[in-house]
Each structure stands twice: as structure tokens, then as C-alpha cells.
Amino acid sequence: MSHPVKVIAIDGPVAAGKTVVGLKLASRLGFQFLDTGVMYRAITWLALHQSIPVIDNVALGRLAQQTTITLVDQAGSQVKMGEHQVGRELREPRVEQNVSQVAQASEVRQALVQQQRKLAQEGKIVMVGRDIGTVVLPGADLKVFLTASPEERARRRWLDLQARGSSSDYQQVLQDIEWRDHLDSTRSNSPLTQARDAVLVTTDGLEEDQVVELLFNLVRERCGRQE
């Protein structure tokens, strides 16, 4: 397949399946993949590691400006920041609990958006996050807003946690997701919202591979229109 579609932006709320679906789509297309959420997790982990208060936006912004985040693997599960290489640590409860607070800091977002745009300059990339189609890559060739009901997203997250041996309670997971949705959608800087020209994809009742196939067909249709 030729690729008049070279930059794909996938946005959506927490636990919507953006990372898994985006990675599979990128692999099928032969594109690079970037989960921008990993970058915010990395800054959150580093701030906690250095005992920087997550409410100190100035200090967090300075940290983000001084830190170059390098992806170690295609899945984005490992990143390198100076002397630190972290992976599993990015999913620690303390990171989960503080990443939305860090991501609200405009100073952090400005610094990381510059890194994200630089990574996208060569094209042939699938980038997922909360503000890719609206802020980071508003000129993306295809924009998708991937979502599901809070209950469905909580169920998926709860099953994932169970598979990792966690004893997390479903109701608590649901409350955490609803709180993250509130923070992400009401922050003053780059709130989570669907771009006007994004395709809305609701994944309740769909398997991951069905969603990937749906998105692949969107790319193919968009390519056909441009050829």
C-alpha cells in the first residue's frame, strides 16, 4: 500500500485501548509508533525519583525542558532519560496516581510537545495521546478519537491489573478512571477533546483486532481518496 496518509493521530480517554490498537496499526502499516503518555509517565517518575513536588509546575517544566526522552523499544515500554532506563516503573501506582497532575502543567506540556513534533517530522508514524489531533499534530493526515464507556474501560483495566497479580477492586478502578477523565477534560491547558475533523470510534463490544481492522480500513479509504 502506498501511504499518502503518513501521520496518524489517535486520541482518547484513559484505558480506551489507544496504545495496544495504535501499536498494532503501526506494525501493520510499517509505521513508527509513539505513545505520548509514556513521556508524561517518564517525567512523573523522574520528578518523584528526584523528590520534585508534582504541584510545582515551574520545577516540573524545568525538568521536562532539560530531559530528552528516548524510546528504547518499538512498543514504548522502555524509555531512557540520561542515566535512567525505566519500563515497568512507569506503571507503578505512585506514577498512576500522579501522572494526570503532572500532565496538567502547561510548562511540561510545552516541553514535551516540542519533542513529540520533532519525532513526527519524518512521517510514517502513529501517535497516540490526549491532545495529538488538537494540539500536537493538528495537521495529521488521519485523526481518530478512540473511546468506550467508563464501565467498559474500567473492566478492561481491572482485567489487566488482575492478570498482573493485582488485587485491585473494580469499583475503585472505575472511580480512578472517572477521576482521570475529569482531570483530563477540564484542565486549562490542552484538555482532552475530540478534534472537529477526527473520526469517532467507540469500541464497546469490540475486540482489539476488530478495532485495528476498522482503523486500517479508514487509512485505506483515506489513501484511496488522495490517490
- List the domains of the chain with CATH numbers: 1-31+124-227 (3.40.50.300), 35-122 (3.40.50.300)
Closest to 100 in 3D by CA, of 78, 135, 130: 130
Of 75 and 10, which is predicted with more confidence? 10
Beta carbons of 120 and 7 less than 8 angstroms apart: yes
SS3 207: coil
Average pLDDT over residues 142-148: 97
pLDDT level of residue 94 (50, 70, 90 thresholds): very high
Residues 177-208 have pLDDT tens digits of: 999 899 888 888 788 999 999 999 999 999 99
- Only one residue has cell 505513545, namely 35
The alpha helices in the chain, defined as continuous H runs, are 18-29, 36-49, 57-66, 93-103, 106-120, 150-163, 170-186, 208-226
Q: Which cell numbers hold the place of 17?
A: 485501548
**Prediction pTM value:** 0.87
Tell me what pLDDT residue 191 has: 87
For 22, how many CA atoms within 13 A lie in the half-sphere containing its CB? 33
pLDDT level of residue 227 (50, 70, 90 thresholds): very low
Per-residue burial over 63-91, b = 16 or more CB atoms within 10 Å of its CB, e = otherwise:
bbeebebebeeebbbbbebeeeebeebbe
State percent of the chain over pLDDT 70.
96
The alpha helices in 52-193, defined as continuous H runs, are 57-66, 93-103, 106-120, 150-163, 170-186
Tell me what pLDDT residue 78 has: 87
Tell me what pLDDT residue 3 has: 55
Beta carbons of 16 and 156 less than 8 angstroms apart: no
Whole-number mean pLDDT of the chain? Answer: 91
SS3 117: helix
